[in-house]
Structure 1
Amino acid sequence: MNPMNIVDIDLNLLKVFEALHEEASASRAAIRLGVSQSAVSAALRRLREVYGDALFVRTGRGLAPTLRANQLRPLIGEALSKCRQSLALLVPETLDFSGRTVTLGLSDDFEIAYGRGLIDKVQERAPGLRLIFRQTHSQIVAEALLDRSLDLALTAGGFNARMLSREILADGGYSCLVDADSLAAEQSALSIDEFVAREHILISSGGFIGIVDEALAALGLTRRVGVSTSHFAALPYLLAGTSAVATLPSHATERIARATGLRVLPCPVTLPRYPIELGWRTTPQADLAIQRVKEAIVECLG
């Protein structure tokens, strides 16, 4: 491959690379960019010549990036981000964010509790910007931010890494969800004995032990877990018509109860509270799109 100079390269190719990496499909990248699929294919051929690599290979599920493409992704993403920031300096109050995306990492309890409100507030602050919600948790969030698969993240910690900044937005606690028909008339709480006697649904990425088990063990008690799931969104279907109980973050119990008719009850065992934190990559020049989303998140949780 002959050495390339930037003056020999159409910088629009970088936008095609970004779209292909994020969409994993030439047809979807074409729709996103507002061009024909043949134009995307031609751009990909040129990109392959420039970088001396296939970059994206066909699989049964679309286009998968090669190792070289994954290495290039943060560099190209940073270059395009700098270009967008330079344009935002012109007239930031009237900037149209159409075509921009911000990827927010969060677990589905936060998505359930705050997702709709966040969408609305982002559209007020950054018209045209598209949010991408991507599942994450505190054990993997730092790596995802550093490798640029996430722009921002909302979790209960996990941001103790160099090059990351964080802000504590709120203090979280836990409540229980049950089917209202499993309660006696006017019942507003579960005794510890009734709590232990009921079947439990555990929400856990590991699927074995949760903080409720730890709190009960300190009291010399155990519970019976009927099923473990990694998705809070499944709870209305797993609890309906049963006497089972699920213990989960209070922000999610309130939202799920309003949408489904399940009942929120206080947890009869004392559980530790936790910080709700917003994390992002530390950069000398803030991206205005990311800044607007940060502002919306702070207002939603304020």
Structure 2
Amino acid sequence: MPNHADESGLRRLDLNLLPVFAALMRERSVTRAGRALFLSQPATSAALARLRDALRDELLVRNGRTLEPTARAFQLMAELEPCLNTLARTLAEATPFDPVADHRTFRVGCTDDVAVALLPALTKRLRKQAPRCDFVLRHADYRTIPQMLDSGEIGTAVAYIGDGLPASAKQRVVRRGGFVVVRDAETPGPVDLDAYCTRPHVLVTPQGDLHGFADTVLEKIGRDRRVVLGLPDFGLVRRAVLGTDFLCTVPDFVARTLADAGGIAADPLPVLPAGGPDVPDVEIRMAWPATLDHDPGEEWLRARIVEALAR
């Protein structure tokens, strides 16, 4: 039976090149497209050359430090993008996932406090449940998550997520909580408001300033505290606090992980006077691309993340 014209066209093109074309259209850079697909720059360049030859068009032309799509490339992308999304969803839904036997690499973007809370689950429970799977944590925040999800660099994001997600992205709240005070378990506690204002503080401050939300709250009631040490991430808090009289104000799920490791005690934030300013809540959201909404492996991972953060 003779091939239809469209089937003959498909046979002439390596379909593995289509995700490369889509990444190049998003990134407008061979280097960034290769990074998003975990390909080397030479491999990505070679794929672009094969696409140009097969489609008889330059597709992307260098313009300074970026690649500028041709009219033909824009036309192809408009037609291919919905097809690729549909194909990804169809294949994901048709492929079962057995965590005990299957090999997958899961890539999760998260803030450093979420990473501290997830690490015990990744290194203990998930290693036992999915011994052949690999897990990669990428640093991500509300500014970088939309692009990382859209480019496929990560399959799941867990962080303080604001607006700006891709229109098709899915999301849900995985934890709501507050802040607590951690200290060396050998030092006096629980910490009241006077002790909170008197003892020295550690502040996690990626930007390097020594003024946090607690300072703003205290100023409104005519009190203050002294921050004597700034840290770039929550992973250093335990080492900074142990053996000192330092206090550190952290999200409750981080405090739980620090206390589980031993030597650290967690106290409620001191009660403010009646009518005092409210302390902000912590809301952690999880987001993922619509193309992975029904992927059995990603569904399994998302459920494990919810379990880890809801403990």
Q: Given the two structures, how large is their TM-score scaled by the length of structure 2?
A: 0.68
Rounded Cα–Cα distance in structure 2 between residues aligned with 1:180 and 1:8: 68
Q: Give the 3 Å change call, closer, same or farther, for CA 295–230 of structure 1 in structure 2.
A: same
| Structure 2: distance between partners of 1:263 and 1:228 | 20
Map of 1:117 onto structure 2: 121
Q: How does 1:122-133 map to 2 (within 5 A)?
A: 128-133=132-137
Give the alignment of 1:1-302 within 5 angstroms: 6-12=10-16, 20-22=34-36, 26=40, 45-51=46-52, 85-90=89-94, 92=96, 97-98=102-103, 100-118=104-122, 128-159=132-163, 161=165, 162-181=167-186, 183=187, 187-208=188-209, 209-269=211-271, 271-283=279-291, 286-302=294-310
Instruction: Encode CA deviations 1:185-222: one digit per residue, 9 max, x unaligned.
Output: xx431222221122211113333331111211121112
What is the identity, as a one-letter code, of the residue corresponding to 1:239? V
User: What secondary structure, in the 3-state scheme, does the structure 1 residue paired with 2:149 have?
Assistant: helix
Unaligned runs of 5+ in 1: 27-39, 56-64
Q: RMSD of the alignment, in Å? A: 4.1
| Displacement after TM superposition at 1:10 (Å) | 3.1
> Which whole-Å CA distance do the structure 1 matches of 2:39 and 2:291 have between them?
30
Q: Give the Å deviation of 1:137.
A: 2.4
SS of aligned partner of 2:216: helix
Q: Secondary structure at the match of 1:104?
A: strand
State the structure with more CA Rg.
2
Q: Deviations over 1:22-46 (max 9, x none)?
A: 58675xxxxxxxxxxxxx9678535
- Percent identical among aligned pairs is 24
Alpha-carbon distance in 1 for matches of 2:221, 2:106: 45
43 and 66 in structure 1: CA distance in 2 versus 1, 3 angstrom threshold = same
Kept after mapping to 2: 8 A contact 1:126/1:289: no
Q: Structure 1 residues 297 and 49 mapped into 2: Cα distance closer, same or farther (>3 Å)? A: same
Contact 2:97 2:297 in 1 (8 A): no
3-state DSSP of counterpart to 1:109: helix
CA displacement at 1:114 relative to structure 2: 2.4
Distance 1:116 1:16, change over 3 A: farther
Contact 1:122 1:293 in 2 (8 A): no
Counterparts of 1:175 and 1:211, CA distance in 2:
13
Shift of 1:81: 7.4
User: Which amino acid counterpart does residue 160 of structure 2 have in structure 1?
Assistant: A
Query: Larger deviation: 112-121 or 274-283?
Result: 112-121
How far apart are the structure 1 equivalents of 2:119 and 2:82? 27
| Structure 2, unaligned runs of 5 or more | 1-8, 24-32, 53-57, 273-278
Contact 2:192 2:271 in 1 (8 A): no
> Structure 1 length normalisation: TM-score?
0.70
Deviation of residue 49 (structure 1)? 4.1
SS in 2 for 1:175: strand
